[in-house]
Structure 1
Amino acid sequence: MSFFVRKFRQSNGKTWLNRAAMAPRHPSEIRRIARGYENRSLRRMVQQALASPYFPWFFLVRNLQNLTSEPRWRRLPIRLREVASMRLLLERSRFFLELAAWRRHQPAVLETSASFRLTHEEALGYCDHCGACCEIASGRAQFPAVTPFPARWQGLFAAGLGRWHRFCPFLWERPPGGSLCAIHPWRPLACRVFEKEECDYLKKGLIP
Structure 2
Amino acid sequence: MRPVDGVGETPALPGKGPYRTVPWKIQGETMWRERPFWQDILKEIIEWRTLELREEIPKPRPETRRALRSLLAHPFFSPHARTVEAALWDPYFPLGMIRRTILADVTGMRFFINKTRPDIQEALSLQVAAAADLFLEAKRDLVRVADPKTVTCVPLDGRLHPLPSGGWCRLCGTCCQIGGVQAEPPPGVGYPPRWVAMIEGSAHPHQQLCPFLFQYFGRDIYFCAIHRIKPRACAGFGPEDCARCRTDIALHERDP
Q: TM-score, normalised by structure 1?
A: 0.72
Matching of residue 154 in structure 1 with residue 230 in structure 2:
no
Q: Residues 1-208 of structure 1: matches in 2 within 5 Å?
A: 2-4=37-39, 20-21=50-51, 26-37=64-75, 42-69=80-107, 71=111, 78-105=117-144, 106-107=146-147, 109-110=149-150, 124-147=166-189, 150-161=192-203, 165-177=207-219, 178-206=221-249
Task: Verify the 8 A CA contact 1:172 1:180 in the aligned structure 2.
Answer: yes
Select the structure that is richer in helix: 1
Q: Residues 29-66 of structure 1: CA distance to partner in whole angstroms, max 9, x if unpaired? A: 32222222478662112111111111111111111244
Of 40-49 and 30-39, deviating more is 30-39
Contact 1:45–1:93 under 8 Å retained in 2? yes
State the SS of the aligned residue for 1:109.
Answer: helix
| Counterparts in 2 of 1:111 and 1:182: CA distance versus 1, 3 Å | closer
- The residue type paired with residue 29 of structure 1 is A
1:103 and 1:191 map into 2 onto residues whose CA distance is 18
Of structures 1 and 2, the one with the larger relative CO (CA 8 A, separation 6+) is 1
Q: Secondary structure at the match of 1:180?
A: strand
> Unmatched 5+ residue regions in structure 1?
12-16, 113-121
Instruction: Describe the SS at the equivalent of 1:202.
Output: helix
C-alpha distance after superposition, 1:142-161 (max 9, x if no partner): 11355475312212322345
Structure 2 CA distance for aligned equivalents of residues 137 and 31 of structure 1: 30
Residues 205 and 103 from structure 1, CA distance in 2 versus in 1: closer, same or farther, beyond 3 angstroms?
same
Q: CA offsets per residue over residues 162-188 of structure 1, 9 Å max, x none?
A: 566543232111113211212212210
Counterpart Cα distance in 2 of 1:184 and 1:101? 16
AA aligned to 1:154 is: V
Task: Give the whole-Å Cα distance in 2 for the aligned partners of 1:93 and 1:171.
Answer: 12
Runs (5+) with no aligned partner, structure 2: 1-6, 8-36, 54-59, 153-163
Q: Measure the CA separation in 2 of the matches of 1:67 and 1:163.
A: 21
- State the structure with more CA Rg: 2
How many corresponding residue pairs? 191
TM-score (norm. length: structure 2): 0.60
Q: Name the SS for the 2:136 alignment partner.
A: helix
Let me know the Cα RMSD of the aligned residues: 3.8
What letter matches 2:193 in structure 1?
A
| C-alpha displacement of 1:8 | 6.1
* Percent identity of paired positions between Structure 1 and Structure 2: 22
Question: Measured at CA, do residues 95 and 111 of structure 1 come closer, stay the same or move farther in structure 2, by a change above 3 Å?
Answer: closer
